[in-house]
Structures are given as structure tokens and as C-alpha cells.
Structure 1
Amino acid sequence: MKPMDIEKESFAIIEKELTTDIPAEYKPVVKRVIHTTADFSYETSMTFSKGVIEEALKAIREGVDIVTDTNMAKSGISHKMAEKFSCSLNCYMADSDVASEAAKREVTRATVSVEKAAKDNPDCIMVVGNAPT
């Protein structure tokens, strides 16, 4: 089976297993999160701010910076699509200043990398991935 066929089948299985009526604009996001995590509890636990999808799409079309808390999350974003819309993809987790600040304050690098993102890119889209802290 081809990789795209596997993904298509996976999403079909997820769709079949959903038990709640998820609004159409949120459903692709919920399905992607379930696909990524294999955790169907997201079907009922995810919440969305009013207008968030439209605002996110608008920001992407305008070339917003996208910052992730992990390199794994960054690798899961289509670099081709980011380039198409002139969106930069950034992750500060491995930056030396992040590591030294985290050690100095005795906090996680994830904490410092998110703080750096908020300071350097206040209007970014922040993607939270799988940092264990």
C-alpha cells in the first residue's frame, strides 16, 4: 500500500470512529490531532476560540511566522506550504541561549524557547508539539 493510501485509510477509519458532531471548520484539525496522537479523547476535549480557523488561515496567507516548541513539531509542518505563503518556520529549543537560560533558571528548555518565541515573534502562530514538559 502506498503511503498516501495508508494516510487516506487512516483518516477514513478516524472519521468512522468519531461519535460527536464536530463543526466542519474544526473537523480537519481534530482528525489530524487524533491521527498524530492515536488518542480519540481529543474528539471531545479540544476547544476552539471563535473565528480561530479563519484568523489562522488569514495569518498564513499573510506570511505569519510559525514557531514550534519542538523540532519534531516543526518537521511535521509542510515546508513547501510554508514557503508558498512566505511563512518562516522556527524552533528555538536547540538554541544555545535557550539552553544556558534554562540551566541558569533551572527550568526546561521548552519553557525558555516558548518565552523566546513570544518575545521575538509576538504575532506568530505557536505550534505546541510533544515536549514532555
Structure 2
Amino acid sequence: MNLEYVLPADIERRSFEIIESELETEIPEEIKPVVMRVIHTTADFDYLDNLYFSEDVMNTAMKAISQKAVFVTDTNMAKSGINKAALA
């Protein structure tokens, strides 16, 4: 049996392609990265119907991030998912 090594980034990219192909609804571009990440993390497409976003949420979030807002999480998994280098 020959196993093919696949880079983690390639696996992730392919996973997002699969999710995109399975979507039956249009997601507004502004929130699409968040919705896609939630579905990818949970493998639960029900989040398409269960996630709600405040108006202008992405601009508000990006402003908070740029101003070094404090993030609170109750799990180490969520904490380790925060890309600290990207926030710097």
C-alpha cells in the first residue's frame, strides 16, 4: 500500500472547496470567511441557519482587533485557534 503525503494546508484548502460545493445558499461575502470556518471546524452545515450577525459586524470586529481588544474564550481549543501572528 502506498500512502501519499498531503500537506495540511492542502487538506484544509480541499476541505473548504468541498464545503463551498455543498452550500445550497449564498452567503454574503462580508461574513463568508467566518461562516465557512465555523462549518469547517464543526462539520455542521446547520450553522447556515443558526448564525446571526449584527450589522457591520466585520468592520466592528476588525476595529476591535486593530485596537488590541481582549478576547475571552472558555476553551483551550478556541484559544489555540486564534492566529496570534496575524493579529500582531
Q: CA offsets, 1:85-120, max 9 Å, x none?
A: xxxxxxxxxxxxxxxxxxxxxxxxxxxxxxxxxxxx
State percent identity of aligned pairs. Answer: 57
- SS of 1:66's equivalent in the other structure is coil
Q: Structure 2: where are the runs of 5+ without partners?
A: 1-5
**Which is richer in strand?**
1
Q: Structure 1: where are the runs of 5+ without partners?
A: 85-133
Q: CA offsets, 1:27-50, max 9 Å, x none?
A: 110000000000011112211011
* Pairing partner for 2:85 from 75, 80, 89: 80
| Inter-partner Cα distance in structure 2 for 1:55 and 1:21 | 23
Q: CA offsets, 1:18-74, max 9 Å, x none?
A: 111111001110000000000011112211011111100011011111111111110
Higher relative contact order (CA 8 A, sep 6+): 1
Aligned residues: 83
1:27 is matched with which residue? 32
Based on CA coordinates, which of the two structures has the bigger radius of gyration? 1
1:58 is matched with which residue? 63
TM normalised by structure 2 equals: 0.89
Q: Does 1:8 align with 2:13?
A: yes
CA RMSD of aligned residues (A): 0.9
TM normalised by structure 1 equals: 0.60
